[in-house]
Structure 1
Amino acid sequence: MNLNLKATIVALLACASAYAQSYTVKAVLKDSQSGEAVSFATVSLHNPANDKGIAYELSDENGKATLEGVKNGNYIFRAELLGYKKFEKKIEVKDADLDLGTVKMAPDARMLEAAKVTDRGNPIQMKRDTISFTASTFKTTDNDMLEDLLKKIPGMEISENGTITHNGKEISKITIDGKTFFLNDPQVATKNLPAKIVDKLRVVEKKSDQAEFTGIDDGEEETILDLSIKPGMMNGLFGNVMGGAGHDIPSTDITGDWRWQTGGFVGNFSTDFQVSGVFNANNTNNRGFNDLAGSMMGNMRGGGMGGPGMGQGQGGWGQRNGITTSYMGGLNVGTNLFDDKMELSGNYMYNGTEQSVEEQSSKTTHLEDSDLIYNSTGSSLTGTHGHRIGMRMEHKFSDNTSVIFEPRINFGGGDFLQQDSTYTDTYTLATDATTKTNDSKKLNSGANKNLSASGFALLRQKLGIPGRTITVMGRYSVSQNNLNGNNYSLTNVYDDSGTPTATEINQNYSQLQNSYSAFARATYTQPIVDNLYAEINLAYNWNKSISDKATTDAVTGAAIDSYSNHITNDFSSEEAGANLLYQREDFRAQLGFAVIPSKTHNYTQSGAAYKVDTTITRFNWSPTAMVFGEIGENGSVRLFYRGRSQTPSTNQLITVADNSNPLAVSFGNPNLAPYFSHNLNGDIRYNNKKTYASVNARINGSYTQDPIVNANWYTGGVTYSMPINGPASIGLGGNIFANIPIAKTNFTVFNMLRVNWSQNSSYVGKDINTATYLNPDGSLDYNKFFADYDLIRPKLTENQTKTLGITERLRITYRIDALEFQVSGRTRMSHSDYFLADTRSETTTWNNELAANSTWTHDLAGLSLKGEFMYHWYKGYATQQPDEYIFNAEISKQILKKKATVALKGYDILGQAKNLTVSDSGNVHTESLNNTLGRYVILSFTYRFGTFDRSKMRGPGGPGGPGGPPPMR
């Protein structure tokens, strides 16, 4: 090789080495006025000759931006963000990294004003299984909780008991940046998280962890709400504490009570670590959690130990029934470990409630030749307390192997005291005459202790080629529920001459229920050809419940065998299935089937004389289908079908009578068979990214074979009730939600229409001589009764109920920087037809509402005003209800350099709120009126600390956020 060639090679290598050398350009973006970090700005380098972009990056939550891979040369450094003037600077990179230090960005008032017009109507974005909302689009005050924000979001509804639904689907859990927040209790978030910390909200139709891995739908989809915290609050400790006191202002001379509330939230959030604590206590019906201990006690009472309790009806517009004092405190922690290979979260919470309910109710039971009319008044006191511990661990051993484990433990207890007076009249259709049938007074009390543990585990493994996977999933649960109580009643039954016969019951009882369950599923997926996959799965399901009840005479202490029992129920099923999945980027289709043999074994013993030992086997098969497709760039459609076999509950199998209400005696049926349900669901979504209009329509249908329904018969005005398997039931429903901004104005229209239709059956007995099957003490002789079961069954006449429900809601929102104003109207119609033999009766009720609410803020003065007005009127009820006018108002003022807020709130200022609930079940129509909190005022003080201040709370799109509306002022 000659000298010239060597020199040439050396020169080329030197040039290549120099060319390959690259450097970094760093900068920190800050607001020129406030000095705060400017996050999510676009930072770029451009060629000064032709303005061609060379490198791009986004600034992080601290305003930092690093451009990598920059060669030697001259460039134009540029930083851009909506709401700021564009920053440009000529720079030179020369054989070293370049640090530009602090880059100050000046706010652009003209751009902010333009953003008000162009982006204000963009609150919703839809993408496949996710609907996203920008929180700052909806106006909230410093004192508002997440619940207040959710009520403003189109399609979002919160029921009286705190259940959250979006477009008709219940939200089962809330996560923060994908990390679990207090596991499966959304109320902890909605009642305790400040609305102002939320940046984005995403409603996600989430598949199960197993289905997300395999891509094959397994029918265990759930709807979750994922929150993202505002970037300026993702580093450092922040929170708020609140306390307030006030008093009732009764509409009558009755002396009111003091009202108080206190609460707090403290959090520290980052991309890798989250910790938050909450506490909440009040006597203003603002329970900040799901009362699991109360639910477990209620399940026991519903099984024959005092009835389900008062204040549980549905149907009105009212607040939660009764007056509730509640308290809770909890800690939630989530973190990433081992270089983000493990996500670990855990939580603990303690909670308690005390509820006082007063109730007036009327019930009409439609029979073939008469109507039974019940009227009652009563009251109840209920207390509960509970502890909850939960954890979730997801660990990724490698790109191919991962596990999830999620255990939970709950324990607690409670007590109750319930009393009421009831009288019954019989209206005879042929004679148009009403006669007195019976009356009763009863008092029930008891105390409960409960413990439950459950868990979920999943192993996921990829096998060599893409699409080939194996998963193994398991679930378990164990629970123990103990209830001790007293049941007292005095009943008068009147004969044709009006002469009463009195019966007194005074019993103590003790019941213990133990339940166990286990479920396992294994799946294997295999790619067949391009875009086509096959799956096979095997599953096993087992549950067992054991119940022991001992009843004694409260005076003598003698055992009462007829109201004591032991029952064991054992159910198991196996499932084998296969699925085919075809998948493209814009289309998915799944088709499959499963065979499901099942076996139910029930053993029941009451005293020494009555024993039942039955075994029932069933064979079901279930096709499954799913279709998903995108409609252009703006729409999508989904359709699902699945079938499921379910078993009777322990309470439905217990033959021992529940005599806590001597005028309504119920008992179980050991002959019950499992039932099978077919379910069809679908939705269509459309989101216009230019006009920001969005439409979401849902349909659902169900067909249930061998459903468990009630059979009722009547003797001496006493209702006897027993569950049996009935004819198939049908349910159809649909709803459509539309959110439409009006051109480039500040107005948005939201409309919701929901239609439901159902056909269900119950049974009404006739010519059943109940006295034949009664013991001398009035209890049921189960041997005689179930020995004649095949003779009694034909005496039960089918009562068919067809119900049509229609709900329409229209809301118009006007929104500018300082003001949000909404007017809305809502009506709910329910029409039920009852068919019993050759007779037909019907009821039609209307619940109507007109409402208006507004939120006004003056940022410079730190002043906020909120007002809410509702007008309710009702039609078609057996007892005509007066119209009601509800007015709530709040005024708040920021103090202490806007770190604190003083607020004065008035609730039900006109003193007209009430709780009307309505239900239709079989041939029974019930209307109940409960006490409510009523009119009161409360003065509160809220203090914010850490990064929780106004300067960090700006809405995205103004200084500090990418491409949304300007800050709410």
Structure 2
Amino acid sequence: MKRIALVIISMTIGWATYGQEVIKSKVYGRLVDKTDGPMLIGATVQLFNIKDSTKSRYAVTDVEGIFLIKDVESAFYKMNIKSLGYKPYSRTVRISIEEMNFGNIFMEQDEKVLEGIEVQGAVVAMEVKGDTVQYNADAYKVNPDASTADLVKKMPGIVIDENGVSANGETVEQVLLDGKRFFGQDPLLSLNTIPAEVVQKVEVFDQKSERSQFTGYDDGNTTKTMNVVTKEGKRNGQFGKAYAGYGTDDRYKIGANVNSFKDDQRLTVIGMTNNINQQNFSGEDLAGISGGGGGFRRGNNSLMTGTQSGITQTNSLGLNFTDEWGTKAKFEGSYFFNQTNNSRDETTNREIYNGDSIQYYDEIKNADTDNLNHRLDARITYDINDDNKLTIRPRISYQNNESLTFTDGATVNGAGTEINRTENNYRSSNEAFNIDNYISYMHKFDKIGRTWSLELETNYKETDRENYYEDIAQDSITQYLTDETDYTIESTLGYTEPIGNTAQLSATYELSYRERNSDKNTYNINPDSGAKNFNTQLSNHFVSGYTQHKTEVSLSNRSMGTFYRFGLAYQYAELANKQIQPETGNFVNRFNSILPFAMGRIELGSEADVFIRYRTSTSTPSINQLQNVIDNSNPLFISTGNPELDQSYSHSLMIRFNKPNPDKNRSIANFTRVETTQNYITNETTYAPQDSVYAGGIIVQQGAQVSKPINMNGYWNVNNNTTHSILIEKLKSNFNTSLGFNYRRLPGRTNEQTNISSTYSGNIKFALASNFSENFDFNIYYDVSSNLVNNSIESIANTNYTTQTTGAKLNWIFGGGFVFRNDIYYQKYNGIEDSFDSEYVLWNMSVARKFLKNDVGELELSVFDLLGQNQSFSQSVNPAYVEEVRTEVLQQYFMMTFTYQLRRFSGAK
């Protein structure tokens, strides 16, 4: 086996070094406006090999107008340069030396484009530049008040829905503004903050890691990124909007969004206060303090309005600031604050499958929750010189959550006889503090491709919980006090070495340590005297330490439109768990893991490409899963931990095919992911046949369930998504289709029997977006998804349900400043039982009048939920039960709103 491996490595290195005699050149220069000298960003520079077109190369200019093309073979080339708003540039050049600097190349403006003369087909809607898809904003028509979110919805392959922002089936994780971070990693907030009128181009690509960007070695760690490039004339000035509205039932909204740009220094301020469920923060602002019992449920907290659960009052403030200090230092930072109060009434209907019998659990819940969050993050880069770079990325967050919940629930059998009941009040106070810091130092040697890097990341998180559970029926009060700390330190040392002209070798060593400490103390409180008694059975102090050593070696090669990388990592890990109370105990597990990985990208012609990535990884159980303490905050659903859990080992395969066709304004893409996990952490659930005593003397009512995490093999998850986008010439509209499929195989145990739950899901989406007028803008969409669930032993739990969603949005400007807006959303749900079926129409409508100079003022009369049908319901399915949850939502109201648009630019053309 070793001989075979040596032969393969020798052949690979030999092939990679073949042809070292050929001169490889580095070609670079800068594109400058001939008239007034600004740099051209996002322009395409192509070197077309006259004798062999397969050796053609291209690049895109950066934010400073610079293009750089490496590894160009000696030959005669046709240099073609294209930039929106400028005349094409073309010349024949000879590449014959190792480094060719073309200096400043002056581009001449295309007066026809600049004067606004519309020429059919003059604006290229979409371009492909390597692994970047670029959309030209001028090719997509939106109303004058549109945001960038409204703009990108019209672009082929880009979808914005309740799940966030996606491009060709992949989730967009961050949005950049002219190549710089904008409000951290909150894509929807970023896109809704930027007005569409300042956008020149939108680029979608996989941003490489800090190390990959500096060393040139692709380590496979990427972030799906959308970069918004602003227009040259919109980069200096102030713009934004402010609004205030008041309506029936004392509904109100006040907010502002102000941007101040001056070259590289940019400041954005956003703020809002309202009681109509508008929120402009993401789920990460509520993360970190969930848990602790009491039926806490997390939902999607993206920019949604009205359809969120309960009634929410929001106060929020956000700041984003970027600047360049001299020629070497760059700063990017953001601060966000939000405060919410949510009140909700919730009804839960659950069907519980216990062997061949069914139990029914019905619950009514009233909850009031206050949440407070501060989040601060920054990124500082210092280019010491051309060969050395320092990056610092700190992040701090603080969260406080106070809630009071009343729950009344009961379980009955198939004959309708009540088995158990709970009636309780639950009060919780949770506080969390988190600080994270990333530091990297990277160095390039004189030899191109030889680098070393050192990365260090630390994280400290502290969570305090104080919860009170009052059992009304038993006339008892229980206090839960939990203190948790989580500390991680991780360091990575990397080295890269070039092999020939196209290959590169990489070696890394990673050392990390994580310690989690959870101290849970429970007290029984006398309702009359207030005296406290320590409850040993429900208390536990647990410490978990995880040490990891990881060594990795890999080889990459890039040549002739093909890139591949493969390697192997060895990981040694030790999971040391220590229980301090109520009984002492030590549990130590050691893991030796071989982690192979491979990735490759093949260009199929000038536009299409296929990307394949295979990787393996391990995952450790959480502190809550490890801690052997009983949580009976809901006595009908008791849970406990398992200190003997092992780490899981996963295989992941991803295949992505992308074929944009700019000439025909269409694109097709396919995204497939397959995952399987050994030692997957799932649940073992047991139902009490009668009132019984659980370990530690805890009384379990008849029909109540007790669950704990266990390791099982056999987990699979398969996803496939195909998107197709075309321009319908007759309608002058863009038509997007999406076809998705998901298969999930989830192992578990119920009443000491192994159950395999297999879920098959299919999804079809259609969307039609107008693209013929700024004054008449519409979007029509239809989405249907179907789910089939099969269980190996709980056949009675097999289910089939379908969700259909249809919607239409219209913005119509007419009559010299009048605006009509219409937004209709219809959802129909067919559940497992007829009682689970539901459908409703949410219809919002408004009329407005623009006034003041340049129509910067607007007065709008709107109605929310015109038909009074707004609902909120959801369904979840697992091997043990299915449930439907219905929640109180915002009801019909009318509102009058005044909006003022701020537009003050300098240097606009």
Q: TM-score range by the shorter chain?
A: 0.7 to 0.9
In 2 relative to 1, CA 190–931 (structure 1 residues): closer, same or farther, beyond 3 Å?
A: farther
Provide the residue aligned with 1:406 in structure 2: 393
CA deviations 1:885-931 (Å, max 9, x no partner) are: 22222333221112222222322211112112111223321211112
> Does the aligned pair in 2 maintain the 1:311–1:322 contact within 8 Å?
no
CA deviations 1:423-478 (Å, max 9, x no partner) are: 11223xxxxx4532112112111112221100111211112211111111121110
1:259 lines up with 2:251 in the alignment: yes
Superposed displacement of residue 167, structure 1? 3.0
> Does the aligned pair in 1 maintain the 2:85–2:110 contact within 8 Å?
no
> Does the aligned pair in 1 maintain the 2:220–2:599 contact within 8 Å?
no
Question: Distance between the aligned counterparts of 1:679 and 1:241, measured in 2?
Answer: 47
Instruction: Name the SS of the counterpart of 2:117 in structure 1.
Output: helix
**Residue 561 of structure 1, aligned match among 528, 531, 536:** 536
Question: Distance between the aligned counterparts of 2:496 and 2:638, measured in 1?
Answer: 53
Provide the residue aligned with 2:178 in structure 1: 177
Q: State how 1:184-199 maps to structure 2 within 5 Å.
A: 184-199=185-200
In 2 relative to 1, CA 313–422 (structure 1 residues): closer, same or farther, beyond 3 Å?
A: farther
**Residue 283 of structure 1, aligned match among 275, 291, 303:** 275
Question: Distance between the aligned counterparts of 1:187 and 1:108, measured in 2?
Answer: 31
CA deviations 1:73-101 (Å, max 9, x no partner) are: xxxxxxx9999999xxxxxxxxxxxxxxx
In 2 relative to 1, CA 529–744 (structure 1 residues): closer, same or farther, beyond 3 Å?
A: farther
Question: Distance between the aligned counterparts of 1:265 and 1:412, measured in 2?
Answer: 24
**Residue 465 of structure 1, aligned match among 436, 447, 472:** 447
> Does the aligned pair in 2 maintain the 1:524–1:535 contact within 8 Å?
yes
Provide the residue aligned with 1:516 in structure 2: 487
In 2 relative to 1, CA 287–224 (structure 1 residues): closer, same or farther, beyond 3 Å?
A: same
CA deviations 1:736-771 (Å, max 9, x no partner) are: 111111347513221011100010111112xxxxxx
1:933 lines up with 2:904 in the alignment: no
> Does the aligned pair in 1 maintain the 2:156–2:734 contact within 8 Å?
no
Provide the residue aligned with 1:647 in structure 2: 620
In 2 relative to 1, CA 195–104 (structure 1 residues): closer, same or farther, beyond 3 Å?
A: closer
Question: Distance between the aligned counterparts of 1:929 and 1:596, measured in 2?
Answer: 47
Question: Distance between the aligned counterparts of 1:262 and 1:139, measured in 2?
Answer: 28
Instruction: Name the SS of the counterpart of 1:947 in structure 2.
Output: strand
Superposed displacement of residue 137, structure 1? 4.2
Instruction: Name the SS of the counterpart of 2:402 in structure 1.
Output: strand
1:750 lines up with 2:736 in the alignment: yes
1:740 lines up with 2:697 in the alignment: no
Superposed displacement of residue 807, structure 1? 0.8
Question: Distance between the aligned counterparts of 2:657 and 2:783, measured in 1?
Answer: 24
> Does the aligned pair in 2 maintain the 1:654–1:670 contact within 8 Å?
yes
Provide the residue aligned with 1:774 in structure 2: none
Q: Which has the larger radius of gyration?
A: 1
Greater mean alpha carbon deviation, residues 305-314 or residues 581-590: 305-314
Provide the residue aligned with 2:353 in structure 1: 366
In 2 relative to 1, CA 245–591 (structure 1 residues): closer, same or farther, beyond 3 Å?
A: same
1:617 lines up with 2:590 in the alignment: yes
Instruction: Name the SS of the counterpart of 1:883 in structure 2.
Output: strand
**Residue 748 of structure 2, aligned match among 762, 772, 783:** 762
Superposed displacement of residue 870, structure 1? 2.7
CA deviations 1:780-829 (Å, max 9, x no partner) are: xxxxxxxxxxxxxxxx2111100011110112233322323333221010
Q: State how 1:137-176 maps to structure 2 within 5 Å.
A: 137-160=139-162, 163-176=164-177
1:586 lines up with 2:573 in the alignment: no
Provide the residue aligned with 1:965 in structure 2: none
TM-score, length of structure 1 as denominator length: 0.78
Question: Distance between the aligned counterparts of 2:114 and 2:160, measured in 1?
Answer: 39
Provide the residue aligned with 1:783 in structure 2: none
CA deviations 1:511-565 (Å, max 9, x no partner) are: 1111101111111111122312111111112111111122112222111121121
Provide the residue aligned with 2:320 in structure 1: 332
Q: State how 1:236-255 maps to structure 2 within 5 Å.
A: 236-247=237-248
What percent of counterpart residues are identical? 24
> Does the aligned pair in 2 maintain the 1:577–1:593 contact within 8 Å?
yes
Superposed displacement of residue 208, structure 1? 1.0
Instruction: Name the SS of the counterpart of 1:866 in structure 2.
Output: strand
Superposed displacement of residue 123, structure 1? 3.8
In 2 relative to 1, CA 156–355 (structure 1 residues): closer, same or farther, beyond 3 Å?
A: farther
Provide the residue aligned with 2:511 in structure 1: 540
In 2 relative to 1, CA 797–40 (structure 1 residues): closer, same or farther, beyond 3 Å?
A: closer
1:269 lines up with 2:234 in the alignment: no
In 2 relative to 1, CA 611–426 (structure 1 residues): closer, same or farther, beyond 3 Å?
A: farther
In 2 relative to 1, CA 885–536 (structure 1 residues): closer, same or farther, beyond 3 Å?
A: same
Q: Which amino acid aligns with 2:438?
A: F
In 2 relative to 1, CA 190–936 (structure 1 residues): closer, same or farther, beyond 3 Å?
A: farther
Instruction: Name the SS of the counterpart of 1:661 in structure 2.
Output: coil
In 2 relative to 1, CA 311–332 (structure 1 residues): closer, same or farther, beyond 3 Å?
A: closer
Superposed displacement of residue 259, structure 1? 1.6
Q: Which amino acid aligns with 1:822?
A: N
In 2 relative to 1, CA 139–602 (structure 1 residues): closer, same or farther, beyond 3 Å?
A: same
> Does the aligned pair in 2 maintain the 1:318–1:916 contact within 8 Å?
no
TM-score, length of structure 2 as denominator length: 0.83
Q: Which amino acid aligns with 1:761?
A: P
What's the RMSD between the two structures over aligned residues? 3.3
Q: State how 1:764-843 maps to structure 2 within 5 Å.
A: 764-765=750-751, 796-817=752-773, 818-836=775-793, 839=795, 841-843=797-799
Superposed displacement of residue 291, structure 1? 5.2
Greater mean alpha carbon deviation, residues 195-204 or residues 402-411: 195-204
Question: Distance between the aligned counterparts of 2:475 and 2:625, measured in 1?
Answer: 26
Question: Distance between the aligned counterparts of 1:306 and 1:661, measured in 2?
Answer: 7
In 2 relative to 1, CA 630–83 (structure 1 residues): closer, same or farther, beyond 3 Å?
A: closer
Question: Distance between the aligned counterparts of 1:797 and 1:106, measured in 2?
Answer: 74
1:665 lines up with 2:621 in the alignment: no
Instruction: Name the SS of the counterpart of 2:289 in structure 1.
Output: helix
Superposed displacement of residue 394, structure 1? 1.0
CA deviations 1:556-576 (Å, max 9, x no partner) are: 211112112111010111111
> Does the aligned pair in 2 maintain the 1:311–1:357 contact within 8 Å?
no
Provide the residue aligned with 1:682 in structure 2: 655
In 2 relative to 1, CA 165–197 (structure 1 residues): closer, same or farther, beyond 3 Å?
A: same
> Does the aligned pair in 1 maintain the 2:278–2:305 contact within 8 Å?
no
Q: State how 1:9-158 maps to structure 2 within 5 Å.
A: 27=35, 112-115=117-120, 118=121, 123-158=125-160
> Does the aligned pair in 2 maintain the 1:282–1:327 contact within 8 Å?
yes
Instruction: Name the SS of the counterpart of 2:204 in structure 1.
Output: strand
Superposed displacement of residue 648, structure 1? 0.6
Greater mean alpha carbon deviation, residues 580-589 or residues 228-237: 228-237
Provide the residue aligned with 2:341 in structure 1: 354
> Does the aligned pair in 2 maintain the 1:293–1:413 contact within 8 Å?
no
Provide the residue aligned with 1:872 in structure 2: 827
**Residue 549 of structure 1, aligned match among 498, 520, 529:** 520
Provide the residue aligned with 1:319 in structure 2: 307
Superposed displacement of residue 721, structure 1? 0.8
In 2 relative to 1, CA 426–106 (structure 1 residues): closer, same or farther, beyond 3 Å?
A: closer
Q: State how 1:352-501 maps to structure 2 within 5 Å.
A: 352-427=339-414, 433-490=415-472
Q: Which amino acid aligns with 1:754?
A: G
Provide the residue aligned with 1:914 in structure 2: 871
Instruction: Name the SS of the counterpart of 1:397 in structure 2.
Output: strand
In 2 relative to 1, CA 215–836 (structure 1 residues): closer, same or farther, beyond 3 Å?
A: farther
Q: How many residues were matched structurally?
A: 804
Superposed displacement of residue 668, structure 1? 0.7
Question: Distance between the aligned counterparts of 1:484 and 1:683, measured in 2?
Answer: 47
In 2 relative to 1, CA 568–411 (structure 1 residues): closer, same or farther, beyond 3 Å?
A: same
Q: Which amino acid aligns with 1:604?
A: Q
In 2 relative to 1, CA 134–488 (structure 1 residues): closer, same or farther, beyond 3 Å?
A: farther
> Does the aligned pair in 2 maintain the 1:192–1:264 contact within 8 Å?
no
